Structure 1
Amino acid sequence: MRLARKRPWVVVGLGLGLALATMAACGSGSSGSSGMPDENAATGTPIKVGFFRPDSGVATLPGVGAGMKAAVSYVNGELGGIDGHPIAVEDCSIDGTPETTISCANKFVQDGVVAAFDGFNLSSSAGVDTLVAAKIPLIGQIPFDQTTGSKAEGRLFFGAPQASFLVGALQGFKAEGMTSATLTVQDTPSGHNTVDTELKPLAAAMGIKATGLYFSPTNPNFSAVASTIASTSPDVAGLIASPSESICTQLVRNLRSIGYKGAVFVAACTAFIKSDPASAPGATLYSSIWLPGSEKNAPAEVGQQIALATKYIDKAGGPADYYAYGQFATVVDFAKGLATAASTDELTGQTVLTTLRSLKDFPSFLGPRITCGIPTTPDCTTQMLLFTVEKDLTLKPVSGGWITPLPAILSTIPGAS
């Protein structure tokens, strides 16, 4: 079925400390409740981008849409756009299947976008060839599709590759004396690929016994999954990756309810901390960025960035989860990175990719300093954060800050270094 085409949307927000205004089209400016125009609002020719929006199917991630809306509001309003040019978004719904990804990639070509935001798409590789042929770069935070992350052609991710999070987490576990891990993931081809080509070989290279288990993407039984995990008596148990926050909450609750006392690993989930605070302390999660709750352990400027992102994400309607902050950071890095171009008046897909690949020692939003354009990888860094949930429900970095996964281990995974 052909997806309905939508008009591009441009969100224009007022400056920090003023009321947020959202508009469905670009124009000569925006007005707040006072009726006065916002002096920072972008009024130049819009920069049209595509957005793979994961808002249907089993891979629904509402935080991604909230983060996109919030970031565009911030960039177009408070930052004045990209050198005066507002971001105009052509969004397209995906459900995690190759079919919807292909349909959206074709739509973006027809719409003439100069970049397409990945949106944590599990099937992004299905549309890469179409985008590459049209010279439209794919931009994201983490390549959730391992095939997409295996090559650098026509794509760029501001965060680390998938393998970094597994390697970094395993390094953290080993440093704390853990020698066995049983982790679960969705029962999909991508999930099996992650277990067979990443988890098992990476753990073996680090001297950790790893077991991979699977749960149904449509009808998971987390009571049974938790029991199976616990039966292996691992030092650490949990998720390799999670398609939703509710899955994390259910698994953590079931592991604790059957008496599992070991370490719990919850991928990039955070909502369980509020929804089930009694089970949260002691859990470990990974992230490509600093997250709310980590402020007391983060640099001062990070706390300011978290507050800024939270303000806009809340006004966008949330949820304020990892995916919202990750997408927010991606759009901000995209905008600030493109602002370094000699001219933004006539951007093309090729100039967008060339400009972003030229970023060196770039201070990413909520992330580390990054260097892009490495020929062997689409990722601008390999660094990641591993947090433990404290008794007061704050987040503490396992190593005090950024973890750099062992290069020798990462080099065994195509595109990871």
Structure 2
Amino acid sequence: MGIKTGRIAAAALAAVCVFSVVSCSDDSSSDGGGSSIAPGAAASGAPIKVGLFNPSKGPATQAGVTTGKNAAVEYINKQIGGINDRPIEVVDCGIDNTSPESTISCANQFVQAGVVATIDGYNVESAAAMPILTSAGIPLIGQIPFNTATGAVTENRVYFGPPPAAFLVGFLQSLGQAGKNSLTLVNSDLPQAHQVFDQLLAPVGKQLGIDVKSAYYPPASPNFTALASTIAEGNPAAGGLMTAPNDNTCNKLAQALKSVKYTGTVFLAACTEFVDVLGPQAVGSQTYSPVWLPPAVDAAPEPAKANLKIAEQFIENAGGTGGFYAYGTFATLVDVARALTAKPPAEFTGPAILATLQGLADYQSFLGPKLTCGKATSPNCTTEMLLFEVTADKKQAPVTGGFLTPSPEVLKLVPGAA
């Protein structure tokens, strides 16, 4: 399916990483200066320090992660009283999603910095950090494990969203139910993408009776017209992106597919911006998400509808890039804060934080479904996902009316997915 780094030494960074948001990868501000927000309950205790693996470097950046982080810290620390009256302090470490070495470097920096937990900003190379984090007793918390090895086991990690397999299985199920039996998806030419296709997408498609084909493009220089032509020439019932490096990639591929007169169902992974860019031309296109997103606000139930409006306000105020990665990052950090406030551990240590989050049962997440964490076979707290279809100009709605539950029997074929 489908993601966004640093300290040099503990002593050096202790002097500079003293604010509620610590950015070691850029100079972006957490209060981007949009609309004014009324003061809420401000946190006043000692900060709780967490690390963020932020895909802000290299050819596959996810700028929305920074926006979502900035917005979430503003909301958590100034509106809802932090984590049990303690502000959250984010040590922002920029990674290159094509380089496991940058992930390893950030993991070591987080250990030196003394963080008590880390946030997975849709890091394709997150598995490279796990030996370091586990040895230090620092859990990894995220929305979706974009690395299949990370998502295959449960040790020292918890994810509030579904596994990547759930999105693919859910999408393929929906295609099958609609009588569509062919699919071509393109993706960045990275080892993880080949692994997902070879070990997950192709065999699941075969199991569901759908002929699935793939094509790859160089991450730094995709030729969108050529990609669109590759998709269209086979005339598959559905085609598009398996994962989305960023919204701009989705926008350009969507426009290219329209230019080559492709008439099948356009699937654009976790993107939202194309809904505005294409306008009425986007109708019929589909995307996935673990959380509710602004184009689908009219279809969202409460409390997701009200929470989505809160998230939208803070994300707009933070400035920068919005979209799926901003809302997913915002939701992840807010759910960490709310869960740890509702049931604060005696000490905010890595193992205690992990135990609290893994102990969540029937917990209503901020923008997603109810979660039950701590499964013996999966680090994910749910398998439910949203498959959106563009229904009108700048509007989306779930194809099933709400969350879709992928087949448990199919998910059992994928380690860590069920």
Q: Same fold (TM over 0.5)?
A: yes
In structure 1, the residue corresponding to 2:115 is in which secondary structure? coil
2:87 is the alignment partner of 1:86: yes
Distance 2:235 2:37 in 1: 60
Distance 2:396 2:273 in 1: 13
Equivalent position of 1:383 in the other structure: 384
| Kept after mapping to 2: 8 A contact 1:195/1:212 | yes
Q: 1:284 aligns with which of 286, 308, 314?
A: 286
Equivalent position of 2:214 in the other structure: 212
Distance 2:6 2:154 in 1: 30
In structure 2, the residue corresponding to 1:152 is in which secondary structure? coil
In structure 1, the residue corresponding to 2:185 is in which secondary structure? strand
| Kept after mapping to 1: 8 A contact 2:134/2:156 | yes
| Equivalent residue letter for 2:167 | F
Distance 1:303 1:351 in 2: 32
2:324 is the alignment partner of 1:314: no
Q: CA deviation at 1:54?
A: 1.3
Q: CA deviation at 1:318?
A: 3.2
| Structure 1 residue ranges without an equivalent (≥5) | 13-19, 24-31
5 Å matches for 1:345-384?
Answer: 346-384=347-385
Equivalent position of 1:109 in the other structure: 111
The 1:215/1:21 distance shift into structure 2, 3 A limit, reads closer
Equivalent position of 1:153 in the other structure: 155
Distance 2:147 2:30 in 1: 35
Equivalent position of 1:71 in the other structure: 72
| Kept after mapping to 1: 8 A contact 2:30/2:71 | no
2:259 is the alignment partner of 1:267: no
Higher RCO (CA < 8 A, seq sep 6+):
2
| Kept after mapping to 1: 8 A contact 2:183/2:238 | yes
Q: CA deviation at 1:281?
A: 1.2
| Kept after mapping to 2: 8 A contact 1:199/1:212 | no
In structure 1, the residue corresponding to 2:209 is in which secondary structure? coil
Q: 2:235 aligns with which of 233, 239, 242?
A: 233
Q: CA deviation at 1:300?
A: 3.4
Residues 190-228 of structure 1, C-alpha deviations (whole Å, 9 max, x = no match): 010011001101111111111111111111111111111
The 1:41/1:303 distance shift into structure 2, 3 A limit, reads same
Q: CA deviation at 1:181?
A: 0.5
Q: 1:164 aligns with which of 166, 187, 201?
A: 166
| Kept after mapping to 2: 8 A contact 1:8/1:91 | no
Equivalences, count: 398
| Equivalent residue letter for 1:191 | A
2:393 is the alignment partner of 1:392: yes
Distance 1:2 1:173 in 2: 42
| Kept after mapping to 1: 8 A contact 2:345/2:356 | no
Residues 95-127 of structure 1, C-alpha deviations (whole Å, 9 max, x = no match): 111011000000000111110001111111111
Q: CA deviation at 1:131?
A: 0.3
| Kept after mapping to 1: 8 A contact 2:160/2:382 | yes
Equivalent position of 2:343 in the other structure: 341
**Over aligned residues, Cα RMSD in angstroms?**
2.1
| Kept after mapping to 1: 8 A contact 2:167/2:385 | yes
In structure 1, the residue corresponding to 2:255 is in which secondary structure? helix
Residues 254-294 of structure 1, C-alpha deviations (whole Å, 9 max, x = no match): 11101111110000001111122243111100000011021
Q: TM-score, normalised by structure 2?
A: 0.91
Distance 1:398 1:341 in 2: 35
Q: CA deviation at 1:392?
A: 2.5
Percent pairwise identity: 45
In structure 2, the residue corresponding to 1:403 is in which secondary structure? coil
294-303 or 194-203, larger mean C-alpha shift: 294-303
| Kept after mapping to 1: 8 A contact 2:61/2:245 | yes
2:17 is the alignment partner of 1:7: yes
Distance 2:344 2:229 in 1: 58
Equivalent position of 1:26 in the other structure: none
2:189 is the alignment partner of 1:187: yes
In structure 2, the residue corresponding to 1:81 is in which secondary structure? coil
Q: CA deviation at 1:391?
A: 2.4
Distance 2:248 2:174 in 1: 25
Equivalent position of 1:29 in the other structure: none
Distance 1:88 1:361 in 2: 28
Residues 26-76 of structure 1, C-alpha deviations (whole Å, 9 max, x = no match): xxxxxx999xxx671111111110111111111211111110111111111
Equivalent position of 1:17 in the other structure: none
The 1:203/1:184 distance shift into structure 2, 3 A limit, reads same
The 1:361/1:335 distance shift into structure 2, 3 A limit, reads same
Q: CA deviation at 1:336?
A: 1.0
Equivalent position of 2:57 in the other structure: 56
Q: TM-score, normalised by structure 1?
A: 0.92
| Kept after mapping to 1: 8 A contact 2:21/2:91 | no
Distance 1:137 1:59 in 2: 25
Q: CA deviation at 1:238?
A: 0.5
Distance 1:11 1:191 in 2: 32
Distance 1:33 1:229 in 2: 45
Distance 2:30 2:104 in 1: 33
Q: CA deviation at 1:341?
A: 2.8
Q: CA deviation at 1:343?
A: 3.8
Distance 2:325 2:217 in 1: 21
Equivalent position of 2:26 in the other structure: none
The 1:294/1:236 distance shift into structure 2, 3 A limit, reads same
The 1:336/1:33 distance shift into structure 2, 3 A limit, reads closer
Runs of 4+ in 1 over 6 A off after TM superposition: none
The 1:48/1:291 distance shift into structure 2, 3 A limit, reads same
5 Å matches for 1:114-125?
Answer: 114-125=116-127
| Kept after mapping to 2: 8 A contact 1:318/1:324 | no
| Kept after mapping to 1: 8 A contact 2:184/2:215 | yes
Distance 1:241 1:156 in 2: 21
| Equivalent residue letter for 1:148 | T
